[in-house]
Amino acid sequence: MPIEITCVAPTRSAIGEGAVWDVGDQRLWWVDIPHGLIHRFDPETGANDTFDFGEPVGCIARREKGGLVIAAKSGFWFFDPENGAREHIGDPEAHLPESRFNDGGTDPQGRFWAGTMKDMGTPEPCGAFYRLDTNLSVSKWKDGFWTTNGLAFSPDGSRMYLSDSNPKVRTIWACDYDGDTGTPGEPELFFDTRQAKGRPDGGTVDADGCYWQAAIEGWCLRRFSPKGEILETVEVPVEKPTKPMFGGKNLDILFFTSLGQSVTQREAQPEAGSLFAITGLGIKGVPQARFKG
């Protein structure tokens, strides 16, 4: 079966991001960060419903108790897109008004992880990764990042991946992960993207334990072995893919979001910022846990 890439939701978002497939409702959830929009795509009907959160949204996850958990400009929130109900959990960076949350997701145990970045003014390495536990306590794990990104967990939950997209860093790391306590080990170099085109953006893993990277500014997605070896490069029709995520009934469709603002060669990528789907890869993903808090 040949590989096919299709634009399935032509939103032309400013910063399409945060793709997460929910096995329970069989929908792909994703966001347009600066516009604060949350999208819900149904591959069976092609419908892409949109909900306005009212402030920049970095990443989201479905919540086991219903609705969503969100990492936004003003911290962690619960949000019910059906009725608009909002509940603020807390803002660990209220003292950094120029920062916001960026990439994140759940670990296999149902904790919610999200990273921050400075979004206004002169860039600085003041980003950090935070863990929202199921009792709603918030813990900072590690700081000193420019643009937190690439968060994903191996299928067995024993490994955590993360990256920094900033041109000064453009590095992917991996570390051991203790699922019982939610504690990562010390990050070790996984791949320095100076060796290949495109900086590291969002990431996910497949059922074989391989890590997928959206190569922003690289016009491609890249698949790595658990040892950090490039196994496959999939060229895509947009310059700035941002977040891959396996979905569909059989978890064999690789969806990816993209960035629409500040792209070059606009005429060559009219759907930049939209949601795309790749079929025919012959590879399956792993289910994403819902937040259990």
135 is in an annotated binding site: no
What would the two tokens of residue 232 be? 């496959």
Task: Tell me the three state secondary structure of residue 168.
Answer: coil
166 is in an annotated binding site: no
Domain ranges of the chain: 4-279
Taking only the tens place, the pLDDT of each residue in 48-106 is: 999 999 999 999 999 999 999 999 999 999 999 999 999 999 999 999 999 999 999 99
CATH superfamily of 4-279: TolB, C-terminal domain (2.120.10.30)
Active site residues: 201
Contact call for residues 264 and 241 (beta carbons, < 8 A):
no
102 is in an annotated binding site: yes
Angle among Cα 161, 4, 15 to the nearest 5 degrees reads 50
Identify the pLDDT of residue 1.
72
Identify the pLDDT of residue 100.
97
- Percent of the chain surpassing pLDDT 70: 100
Of the pLDDT bands very low, low, confident and very high (cuts 50, 70, 90), residue 266 is confident
Query: What would the mean pLDDT of 141-153 be, rounded to a whole number?
Result: 98
Round to whole Å and give the CA distance between 212 and 233. 10
250 is in an annotated binding site: no
Taking only the tens place, the pLDDT of each residue in 189-241 is: 999 999 999 999 999 999 999 999 999 999 999 999 999 999 999 999 999 99
Lowest-confidence range among 85-89, 120-124, 125-129, 179-183?
120-124
Closest C-alpha to 163, from 134, 186, 193 = 193
